[in-house]
Chain A
């Protein structure tokens, strides 16, 4: 196997993250069911957190909580991605709640989750 493809297996977290991102993105873009779109969106975000977490990890080091006054940076993993993931999770929770609320309203109104059908029904209402 060529050398550069081996990198895919060394970076297996990143590889998995990218595959998940692709799946999530496509689901959000092309799926017609609103709930599945939301699931796709969560896939997409989870993939990004996985990628970030993998970026922050350094083999053999501890979580970045200073114990016993040991402040040597070479003891701890990178704290920045952790903070970014935290922010990302909060954003994703918020957006998911918003999307779900919209879906609730649309379902109550049209009794379907199919976005095409909903669009079609609205067009018909307008005409």
Chain B
């Protein structure tokens, strides 16, 4: 076994240790440790990605002396490595971009805990991406839940406390359903490893045994993870939590945490149950429907919002809808679109939140639309980042968001009549709505009004913020320009997934 193949496991285990060490260090030292470690994990994940692309296959890494059904194991393929690289890079850039906010918003002696939570969150995201075992997924989902709630409440105010409480309650409902699903599935198959369950489920499905329990289990998984990833009817906690947290937290929560749960759901659907069972049970029809509703309602919610960060949070609801529409089309193309959307949204939304944080800096700490008028002129770098992000969200060619819309349209064209018409209509309406709130926002931040209050203001860029903005912009444009490579990698990854 080559050294590179150990990297995923090192990323998971030592992110935990990095978190533990950050808890005893002082704020600055914890920051340096956390950033260094995140840079390292990004590099390691990139190495793993190159390795898997070169070998053009996946490998199983057993966590211990024993093989799969006895021990734990992780599975590393092109898709997993791609996600891990993107997530850890985005985490690093989000932390950099909001660094001064973190130090301003957290209580001074508790700042180090922010980095603890980030490291633990990163570890759980790695574990969710790589895991091949349902119970491991549950344990790390819980770490993810607590750490992400903590990220919201580390900015100490009454509003974040209430937002955290609501977020936590909804998350707990979700994980309760998820755990019950695992437990019942264990009851009827006796396995926890994904491949073994898949075998048993296929056998049960062909004999028609346990038909109702299987349906209920799929329902429990779908609802549980949909609540945690804020699919439309369960999204009410999201705008508060993402709107009130500090800039980096909002970026990380919107860009990465929601996606972690969706990746688990994709794994459960296609590696545990298989396309055949999922299609027969028709649960994904509901996911499709709710995804379409989320695309529309999320955008409508964003349209009504007068607060920049809450608007972006509502936009996340709509974007999660795209992912679910992709999953709900239950075709290979649909799944490719969903995975591309996970990546595209992960590189776009954090940039918008970071830029929003920058605007708050130059607008006296306010984040309502009227207060940030002209902020793009006072903070041109943030303005450019926001514009790129907004154009990408609308779906202008050569930006990341366009790739998703293209893939999703192709997937829709390849599906059945009603699904095709619904999906195409939803994409069209959603694009229009996106334009309706992002374009005025762009005009607003570059407007000439509102400069008089800030005559003497001179923006001095912090290196971390500038680096983060530039890197995000390049990442986004690169994603759009070299989309065929990304889509190709995703396609190959999904083939290795057994799709």
Contacts and interface: CB of A to CB of B under 8 A. Distances in A.
Q: Do A and B touch directly, given a CB cutoff of 8 Å in the complex?
A: yes
Interface of A: 21, 24-25, 28-29, 34, 37, 41, 44-45, 48, 51-52, 55, 80-81, 84, 87-88, 91, 94-95, 98-99, 102-103, 105-106, 109-110, 115, 118-119, 122, 125-126
B146 A94 contact: yes
A91 B187 contact: no
B176 A98 contact: no
Contacts of B192: 80
B158 A21 contact: no
Given A55-B183, A95-B146, A126 B159 contact: yes
B135 A28 contact: no
Contacts of A48: 176, 179-180, 183
Given A45-B176, A48-B180, A125 B146 contact: no
Given A51-B187, A55-B186, A105-B161, 13 more contacts: A28-B176, A29-B173, A41-B176, A55-B187, A81-B186, A95-B142, A95-B168, A99-B165, A99-B168, A103-B165, A115-B165, A118-B165, A119-B166
B139 A87 contact: yes
Given A106-B165, A126-B159, A91 B183 contact: no
B146 A102 contact: no
Contacts of B135: 84, 87
Contacts of A98: 146, 149, 168
8 contacts: A25-B176, A28-B172, A37-B169, A41-B172, A80-B186, A95-B142, A122-B162, A125-B158
A29 B224 CA distance: 13
Contacts of A88: 179
Given A55-B183, A99-B168, A106-B165, A122 B159 contact: yes
A91 B139 contact: yes
B153 interface: yes
Nearest to A49: B183
B169 A52 contact: no
B88 interface: no
Contact of B172 (A55, A80, A95, A118): A95
Given A28-B172, A119-B162, A102 B183 contact: no
Nearest to A21: B180
User: Chain B interface residue count: which class?
Assistant: 20 to 34
Contacts of B159: 122, 125-126
A46 to B, nearest CB: 11
A127 B164 CA distance: 20
Contacts of A91: 139, 142
Contacts of B161: 102, 105-106, 109
Q: Kindly list the 8 A-B residue pairs having the minimum CB-CB distance in the complex, ordered from nearest.
A: A44-B176, A91-B142, A122-B162, A55-B187, A102-B165, A41-B172, A109-B158, A122-B159
A28 B169 contact: yes
B196 to A, nearest CB: 13
B99 to A, nearest CB: 26
Contacts of A103: 165
B291 to A, nearest CB: 23
B162 A106 contact: yes
A23 B153 CA distance: 29
A102 B171 CA distance: 15
A20 to B, nearest CB: 11
A35 B153 CA distance: 19
Counting chain A CB atoms within 10 Å of each CB, the highest count among B135, B153, B166, B179 belongs to B179
A28 B158 CA distance: 22
Contacts of A52: 183, 186
Contacts of B142: 91, 94-95
A52 B183 CA distance: 7
Interface in B114-146: 135, 139, 142, 145-146
Nearest to B162: A122
A37 B216 CA distance: 25
A94 B145 CA distance: 11
A104 to B, nearest CB: 10
